[in-house]
Structure 1
Amino acid sequence: MLIRVTAAVSSAVLLGGCSGGGEAAEPESADPTAAEMEVAGPDNAADRSKGPADGGGQMIVTYEEATSPEAQNGKKIMSEAQFLEEMAAETSAMLDLPQDIPLFGRQCGEANAYWSSSDKAMTICYEDADASFQVFSKANDPDPVASTIGAERATFYHELGHATIDVYDLPFTGREEDVADQLAAVLLLEPDETGKADPDNVQAAVDWARIWEDSAAQNGSPEDFPFWDAHEYDLARMYNFECWIYGSNPVDNKFIIDSGTLPEDRSQDCPEEWERMSRAWDEMLDPYWK
């Protein structure tokens, strides 16, 4: 089974979706005025409701104004990398979208990302990119911007999971947040025509797991975690992603085992877990791949 995804953003450019450690309420916001937004490409606010000539939907990018230091830094990272433009083009080429879908870069007042079912729109908050950058900078990554873009790529795919469930009315069992994490892993780790996943995408999955590890450390002991939340506990999300990274290619991704973070009891079942998850998503989206 092969899911065709374009190559990752170059290493010179590339926090978990729906806000880390518990989902914040989706911000209420009116559509920005033309003076407030910067739109990538030839589209403008007046044209956003129009689909392409063939009637298929596209993902349309809008960078809104940033005023806080955190939002300005996050916007700078995303816009200089043309991150939203890359993800929008990739999604438009990969999926038969039933309508145009706005993709906003936005100042949210918190590190978050979300899909709005009522607006049929996705938002990646500038503060999310800034928060990831701070994590990787403190970890002394040789290229914290590349690590940030990798983590935000996984965040985008997580939100794309919510979007596909909504716009295609996909059936699923379990918690939607867990299912969205699975699609993020599948899109990052599925092999391309060479039979292997793009190394940048594998690293993006690793970086997202690192974000959840850091989030768990920052949010205190497990006793403090709101287990009523729709999201899985941060460390559990980390272990899930490490399992899927390993399970997708146990030979090439043995470094996950060698790092000592993934328990052996979990790792033994990861290849089978990955295969079931990958097959399920491929079958669910089969009518919608371009």
Structure 2
Amino acid sequence: MKLKKYRMPHDEYIELQEYPTSEDKTKDNDEIRSEVIPPLVEKLKDLHLRLNAEEKNGILVVLQALDAAGKDETISYIFSNLNAQGLKTTTFGKPTETEQKHDYLWRMQPAIPARGEIGILNRSHYEDVIAPRIHGGLEPGDFPEGEDEDSIWNIRFRQINDYEKYLYENGIHVVKFFFNMSKDEQKDRLLERMKTPDKNWEFSFSDVEERQHWDEYQQVFEEMLNGTSTSYSPWYVLPADDEWHSRRLVTAIMIDLLERLDPKFPEITGEDKDKLKEYIDKLEKE
């Protein structure tokens, strides 16, 4: 599988519509779910265990999309299989009153994984270059001197890139997934949630209300992806109409990153190795 074709380039502008929302893989859902994903998850689990044991690098995973695109399900079906001790999940909503008194990246710090951990952001700091563009809400203190609501976004893109480079240079690798869903597919998924009593809890009336801004969101997403996909912190654009195919891609991309990091279990050497042998003999003689 060529993962590179899902990776947003960092040196040219790409229109979001160039990325398909479907690759006609929905018909393969059963096969992907039962035969393809399980061995991939097992491989991911082993690599995550090695990452956790080595404590050299951490990974921050960004899941970004409109409602019903598949973020929660990716966490449930893929990441929940990993060792809980080396995993942390943070969901970002509307900034609290306390968070609004700080710079917009301030609330990110508790969500950053330690070395050896995978941290998952269900929505993220990218909300601060998405929602305010659609609904407003920036305060006077949010603008550098001489800037306004037209120029602030490129500044924030640069700030986010600098922040993610800082994380990268300190051993925290940021990988970002954008779930590219069609308007028709979202409609079908929202209707399913609304018509199925056991899924009503997943539905919010605001999900439907936000659809009136669909075209605005697509333009904002396109600018965000182009402005913040870097060589060290890339965006991957997933064909989110194909839900199980997208989950396979997330798993494969995570495996690819971890294999490049090549984590290893620590080896016991020197005096500790001699002490280990001594304690093995001691226990075996009990």
Q: Same fold (TM over 0.5)?
A: no
Of structures 1 and 2, the larger Rg is shown by 2
Higher relative contact order (CA 8 A, sep 6+): 2
For Structure 1 versus Structure 2, the TM-score category normalised by the shorter chain is under 0.3
User: Given the two structures, how large is their TM-score scaled by the length of structure 2?
Assistant: 0.28
Which one has a larger percent helix, Structure 1 or Structure 2? 2
